[in-house]
Structure 1
Amino acid sequence: MKSIKKWSFTQVMVFGFLALILVGACILMLPICNANGKWLNFPDALFTSCTCVCVTGLVTVVPAFQFTFLGKLVMLFLIQVGGWGVIVCVTYVLVLMKVKLTIQERVMLQNYFNRDSMRGLVGILQYVVKGSLVVEGIGALGYACRFIPQFGLLRGIWYAVFHSISAFCNAGVDLLGDSSFAMYADDVLINTVTAFLIIAGGIGFMVWRELVAFIKKAAKKETGIRQGLRKLSLHTKLVLLMTISLLLGGTLFFFIVEYNNPNTLGSMGFFQKLMASFFQSVTTRTAGFFTVPQDQLREVSRLFSCFLMYIGGSPVGTAGGVKTVTVAVVLLSCGSILAGHEDTECFRRCIPMNIVRTALSVCIGGLLLVLVGTLALMVAEPEATIMQATYEVVSATATVGLTAGLTPKLHIAGKFIIIALMYMGRIGPITIPLMIAGSIKRRNEKRRLPEEHIMVG
């Protein structure tokens, strides 16, 4: 049997998250963590722990009323560790303890950050952790300006810190009751701070590292803005292009479709409608907070929300979904095929074929997970409509946390289905198959079989 030190990156991801979820569930079950002083049943404790570690936001109990301060503190810890990832947290603790990282640990970091070499990995690790804390601190200050006058000094600070971390980690877990941020639908400060944190966490650590470097050079006039933008990596360009397009497109869609819906935007003023539409577009990118009731959205809006949730955020960040760059690569590949080009090209660069294949695998794996999950949930919850089941499954798989009202009513089987989907969505739909495939020793990996043409399309 392999020792833990010899585990692959994939194995550490799979079992690390699983262990954290189980430990978190055991702690949240304790009477000291529950407001009623009684043991919390295991399914709800496991569900809550999973939604925190997988930074989803779906809940079967209301955290504001169910848990004590200690229970909420445990949830916050699980959210932060889940947002950064087990590998980042463990290796950062080793760095703080001045323990020299082994080659295996450096390889894991290299895989996590998707770097070509091991050079500067510790610096990137420290940048990610410290940068996250700075952004979360800025968000907490913004929230404090509203929460302290409303809830008092101590509770206001606590709420500010909790919701800042939850928003940056794209968790969507709140302490405001069962209506999320609905009471702040017309609050410019809360909407702005929350959207900023969600986007900052969702675009990925490597992107904002590159953007900060670009802004510093532009501020010092070491490079022009146009020249600096040209020098950005292809990855960053695709992330920014997809993020801006989806945010603006989503805002416009929700604004038009929900404009006269009396249950969502209908009674709001023009600017408030625009702000609520933008927030809905942002939060469907795997955040989970909401300012309009999701079960009151028009069917077409919920279907479009599923599309946005499926895409999610960007790689190497706190967001879920199949990721913006993944979808971009698939679309570019389809465009290249239709144009008769052999290579997949973008911004005068050629995307390697192995990345194209991986992108296709992730997209198809995500769709299969949604399909199987929806069928399973409809069997477990026969009273649910297909739209309710699909919305809940996509939300869980993409680790979003938005619900159309089905999650609080789930039976035991339904809860475990959603738990499994949140877990699979957090580690990636093709991670476990890759781990299983990697553990199988092949006798001849370099063999080539004869080709034979088949008919497709």
Structure 2
Amino acid sequence: MKGKTVLERLTPPQILVIGFAAIIFLGGLLLSLPVSTSNGEGLPFVDAMFTSTSATCVTGLVVVDTGTYLSVFGQIVLMALIQVGGLGFMTMSTLIALVLRKRISLRERLILQEAMNQSSMEGIVRLIRRVIFYSLTIELAAATVFAIRWSFDFPVGRAIYMGLFHAVSMFNNAGFDLSGEFRSLMPYADDLVINVTAMSLIVLGGIGFIVMADVMEYKKKRKLSLHSKVVLSMTGFLIVFGAVVVFIFEYTNPRTLGSLNGLGKVLASLFQSVTPRTAGANTLDIAGLRQATQFFIIILMFIGASPGSTGGGIKTTTFTTLLGAMVAMIRGKDDIVLFHYRLAKDRIYKAITLTLFALFLVVFVAMVLSTTEDHPFLMILFEVTSAFGTVGLSMGLTPDLTVFGKIMIMLTMFAGRLGPVTLAYALQPKPEKELYRHPEGKIIIG
């Protein structure tokens, strides 16, 4: 019997890590070519790798202005990286296999299960088909709306191109834009069409494909899964609560909401609450927000989007589980009950582990960068949390980062996109089954 190849020895988490790293490296090489920039010189290698990492990890942090510095070729490379990064390279490879009518092997199904954060392989290929169909349909519909709106401001060809680019970027929660001068969507802070379309894309991309499929089948099933109920309710709560907080904190701030009319204030508050779902676009000057608002956005970015989506963060389900654990402990209950369902203990342990991993990562990177970057700590913490949550919002620090700072942020984006737990599984040695259990002990908590 022949020995296994190197690829066959790799676990699904290891394949995901290597696959994303390979895409980032290829993207970095393409962006460093002279044809990728408007000045014909190409991006410096570190900047090219940073931009490729940001696009593949659907973050949106930029060291150069996408709309003016990159050529059309560079922007198309960026858009391809966003699409592959958002849907996942395994999803894209499955699409190619389905087009070529190739059979999806058991090993590929295992990797897809890991990539989509599913508990079993059952129906995984059917889910991937839906993911691809929903994604392309939503992006095409949004691109059409964007193109019609921008046709009033730009030539038709430019409007169509901008519509497609922003639809892909917003749905995949990437946050890249072509507005120029690092303005994101600030010129459209009170534009109803742009705001509603962008927010719809961000929310749909952030709730996860599993929830989308569940909602689409609601008429037939007449019920939603516990996962979908938790995601939709927590997402709705965070958006409404976040908008109210931003509205209250920024209402009189002349650098943000203070200069807008009534509709503009409402739209901008909603947008700034939706975009920390890991989208990265903004209609207000993030550096101009009050410190209380900036810190509040850090919390929203840390929570992030939902499992199986294009977004990052610890996820809405993890945050809900932690809140449930706190409520259960205060009420003296043994179980966490959500929508009349009891959560399994392993879900609780995973939520705690993921949150602590994420917290340690963000704190560690922020402490390191506070010694290498000459900027206020809140600015650094904002940037690190944005990188981990694959958000892309920035207070303006990214272009001023040192080479070391760029590398640290790149690694943080990479860890945030794959997830700290996936990285830990990929790096850990093969687990051995424990042959015994230690006696139970007690410690005093609190």
Which interval holds the TM-score relative to the shorter structure?
over 0.9
Kindly tell me: are residues 97 and 7 of structure 1, through their superposed partners in 2, closer, same or farther at Cα, counting changes over 3 Å?
farther
1:199 alignment counterpart: 203
2:124 alignment counterpart: 121
- Which ranges of 4 or more aligned residues in structure 1 deviate by more than 6 Å? none
How many angstroms apart in 2 are the aligned matches of 1:106 and 1:27? 30
How many angstroms apart in 2 are the aligned matches of 1:268 and 1:319? 29
1:212-291 matches, within 5 Å, as: 212-214=216-218, 216-217=219-220, 228=222, 231-291=223-283
1:427 alignment counterpart: 418
Of the three residues 401, 415, 420, the one matched with 1:410 is: 401
* SS of equivalent to 2:420: coil
How many angstroms apart in 2 are the aligned matches of 1:117 and 1:363? 23
How many angstroms apart in 1 are the aligned matches of 2:230 and 2:256? 33
2:54 alignment counterpart: 51
How many angstroms apart in 2 are the aligned matches of 1:397 and 1:2? 33
Q: How many residues align?
A: 442
1:138 alignment counterpart: 141
1:48-447 matches, within 5 Å, as: 48-177=51-180, 178-214=182-218, 216-217=219-220, 228=222, 231-381=223-373, 383-437=374-428, 439-442=429-432, 444-447=433-436
Q: Structure 1 unaligned runs (5+)?
A: 218-222
Kindly tell me: are residues 260 and 72 of structure 1, through their superposed partners in 2, closer, same or farther at Cα, counting changes over 3 Å?
same
Q: Residue 10 of structure 1 contacts residue 431 of structure 1 at CA under 8 Å; is this kept in 2?
A: yes
Q: How does the TM-score come out when normalised to structure 2?
A: 0.96
How many angstroms apart in 2 are the aligned matches of 1:73 and 1:289? 19
* SS of equivalent to 2:306: coil
* SS of equivalent to 1:340: coil
Q: Residue 204 of structure 1 contacts residue 318 of structure 1 at CA under 8 Å; is this kept in 2?
A: yes
Q: How does the TM-score come out when normalised to structure 1?
A: 0.94
Q: Which amino acid aligns with 2:430?
A: I
How many angstroms apart in 2 are the aligned matches of 1:344 and 1:440? 32
How many angstroms apart in 2 are the aligned matches of 1:127 and 1:358? 27
How many angstroms apart in 1 are the aligned matches of 2:381 and 2:120? 41
Q: Residue 6 of structure 1 contacts residue 104 of structure 1 at CA under 8 Å; is this kept in 2?
A: no
Q: Residue 54 of structure 1 contacts residue 82 of structure 1 at CA under 8 Å; is this kept in 2?
A: yes
Q: Structure 2 unaligned runs (5+)?
A: none
How many angstroms apart in 2 are the aligned matches of 1:149 and 1:124? 38
Q: Residue 88 of structure 2 contacts residue 115 of structure 2 at CA under 8 Å; is this kept in 1?
A: no
Pairwise CA distance, 1:346: 1.2
Q: Deviations over 1:335-381 (max 9, x none)?
A: 11222221221111111111110011111111111100111111110
Q: Which amino acid aligns with 1:360?
A: I
Q: Residue 14 of structure 2 contacts residue 427 of structure 2 at CA under 8 Å; is this kept in 1?
A: no
1:7 alignment counterpart: 10
How many angstroms apart in 2 are the aligned matches of 1:126 and 1:299? 44
How many angstroms apart in 2 are the aligned matches of 1:213 and 1:274? 32
